Structures are given as structure tokens and as C-alpha cells.
């Protein structure tokens, strides 16, 4: 069965793109960023393509490419478009798939819907990226709580940045989540670094078929 996951974070600038590249490389999966806000000349799709080394991955085109680096709802408004959830459909592929979100779970897409609504619509389990900083326990636990309230399965968590055992141990113990990996502070992110971490991912743990997937909602 295909493995398909939605990579989200506890905030913006948490390391979702790097984690997405690592998971894409580990699974030799396809990659898809549904909504790109700003940085169109150096998009997350372009970054992932430059970081992976396998020849199997297909980078699927974004559903929305917005010009301003801002919340998708605001960036779309500036471009004179409205993001419509029904227009965002999973790309057709026989390969595994990594989907990368924009910002955190409660980032607005339009006047009605948030990133978490998109996750629920696509009915994908989540890989949650957490980064250690003052307040990250609160942000991480809130993200986990809202995912559980929506009955969205969480495949596991990846910690990024300087290791803080007291923080990580508490989150893992309290939440009961599977630890999928840790990313240390790196001077540079390049294909060799991505390959190093990809080899550390236990892909057998990423077993979508064992997860209680939610039923897609109508929007």
C-alpha cells in the first residue's frame, strides 16, 4: 500500500521543507507542495528537488503559486484569487507521496478554512515537525491536541535543532507519539546531509496501512 503523509509544523520556519526532503529521499517518494506563498523563484519544490538524490521522485506542481510571502489567505487576496479546497486534489501517482503544508495547522487558507481543514480533506496522516525553543512544548502539545480533536492520525514526530532532552522527553511521554527522527543543527543543508538523515529514518514505522485514516470531508 502506498505511504502518503502530510508534513506540518508547530509554527513557521520549523524545518518542514528539510524534513520533507528527508522523508522524500528515505521513501524515494513523490513530493507535493499544494500552496506556495512567495519565493516563487526559489520555491520549496525547487529546494526539495535540489536536495534529493534519487531518480524515482517526481515533484508535482503546486495547486496555488502566490506571489507574497505571507499567510496563504492574505497572499491569495493580494493576487486577486481565492484558495478553494475543492480545487486541491492529491496528484495521481503510483508512488509514495510526501505533502508539505504551509506554516502551522491554524494558518488560514481563506475566510473559512485552515491548513488543518486541508489535511482533513486529503485524509492523510501527519508527520509533525517540532523545533526546540522557549514555548515549543506549548506549541507542540497544542498542535497534537487539535489533531486529536479532529481524529487526524499522527504518524510520528521529528525534532529539529539543538537537542533538548527535557523538552523532547516530556512531549514524547505525554503525547505517546512515535519518534521518527531528530535533526541536529547543521552548518549547511545539502544533498549529503539529506541522505545522512534519510538513512536514519525507519521506513517500516511509516506504515500508513496500520493507521486509522479519517474519512475525507466534503467542503
Query: pLDDT per residue over 59-80, tens digit each?
Result: 999 999 999 999 999 999 999 9
- Please name which of 124, 85, 110, 100 lies closest in space to residue 9, comparing C-alpha atoms: 100
216 within a domain of the structure (yes/no): no
Residue 163: other Cβ atoms inside 10 A: 12
Quick check: 207 pLDDT over 80? no
Quick check: 154 pLDDT over 90? yes
- Please name which of 64, 159, 79, 156 lies closest in space to residue 115, comparing C-alpha atoms: 64
217 within a domain of the structure (yes/no): no
Domain count, the chain: 1
Q: What is the pLDDT of residue 148?
A: 94
219 within a domain of the structure (yes/no): no
Average pLDDT score over residue span 175-193: 94
Q: What is the pLDDT of residue 131?
A: 94
What whole-number percentage of the chain has pLDDT above 90?
88
Q: Out of 3, 33, 121, 131, which one is annotated catalytic?
A: 33
Write out the residue range of the structural domain in which residue 31 sits. 4-207
Give the integer Cα–Cα distance in Å for 168 and 178. 12
pTM above 0.75, yes or no: yes
Task: Let me know if 56 is a catalytic residue.
Answer: no
214 within a domain of the structure (yes/no): no
- Mean pLDDT, the chain, integer: 93
Q: What is the pLDDT of residue 218?
A: 56
Average pLDDT score over residue span 3-20: 95
Burial environment of residue 108 by CB neighbours within 10 A (0 to 12, 13 to 18, 19 or more): middle
Quick check: 29 pLDDT over 70? yes
Quick check: 217 pLDDT over 80? no
Quick check: 50 pLDDT over 90? yes
CATH (domain of 13): 3.40.50.300
Give the integer Cα–Cα distance in Å for 94 and 107. 30
- Sequence-separated (6 or more) residues with CB below 8 Å from residue 123: 213, 214, 215, 216
Give the integer Cα–Cα distance in Å for 72 and 165. 34
128 within a domain of the structure (yes/no): yes
Average pLDDT score over residue span 76-86: 96
Residue 34: other Cβ atoms inside 10 A: 26
213 within a domain of the structure (yes/no): no
Q: What share of the chain is helix, strand, coil (3-state, %, to 5)?
A: 35, 20, 45
Quick check: 216 pLDDT over 60? no
Amino acid at each position: 500500500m502506498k505511504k502518503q503523509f502530510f508534513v506540518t509544523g508547530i509554527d513557521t520556519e520549523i524545518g518542514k521543507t528539510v524534513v520533507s526532503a528527508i522523508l522524500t529521499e528515505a521513501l524515494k517518494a513523490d513530493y507535493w507542495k499544494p500552496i506556495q506563498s512567495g519565493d516563487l523563484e526559489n520555491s520549496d519544490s525547487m529546494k526539495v528537488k535540489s536536495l534529493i538524490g534519487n531518480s524515482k521522485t517526481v515533484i508535482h506542481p503546486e495547486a496555488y503559486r502566490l506571489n507574497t510571502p505571507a499567510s496563504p489567505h492574505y497572499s491569495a487576496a493580494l493576487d486577486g484569487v481565492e484558495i478553494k479546497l475543492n480545487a486541491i486534489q492529491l496528484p495521481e501517482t503510483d508512488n509514495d507521496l510526501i505533502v508539505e503544508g504551509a506554516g502551522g495547522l491554524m494558518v488560514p487558507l481563506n475566510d473559512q478554512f485552515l491548513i488543518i481543514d486541508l489535511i482533513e480533506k486529503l485524509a492523510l496522516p501527519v508527520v509533525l515537525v517540532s523545533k526546540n525553543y522557549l514555548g515549543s512544548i506549548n506549541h507542540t502539545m497544542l498542535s497534537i491536541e487539535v489533531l486529536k480533536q479532529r481524529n487526524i492520525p499522527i504518524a510520528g514526530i521529528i525534532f529539529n535543532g539543538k537537542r533538548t532532552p527535557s523538552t523532547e522527553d516530556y512531549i514524547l511521554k505525554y503525547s505517546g507519539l512515535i519518534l521518527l527522527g531528530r535533526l541536529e543543527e547543521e552548518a549547511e543543508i545539502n544533498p549529503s546531509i539529506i541522505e545522512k538523515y534519510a538513512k536514519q529514518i525507519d521506513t517500516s514505522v511509516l506504515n500508513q496501512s496500520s493507521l486509522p485514516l479519517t474519512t475525507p470531508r466534503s467542503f
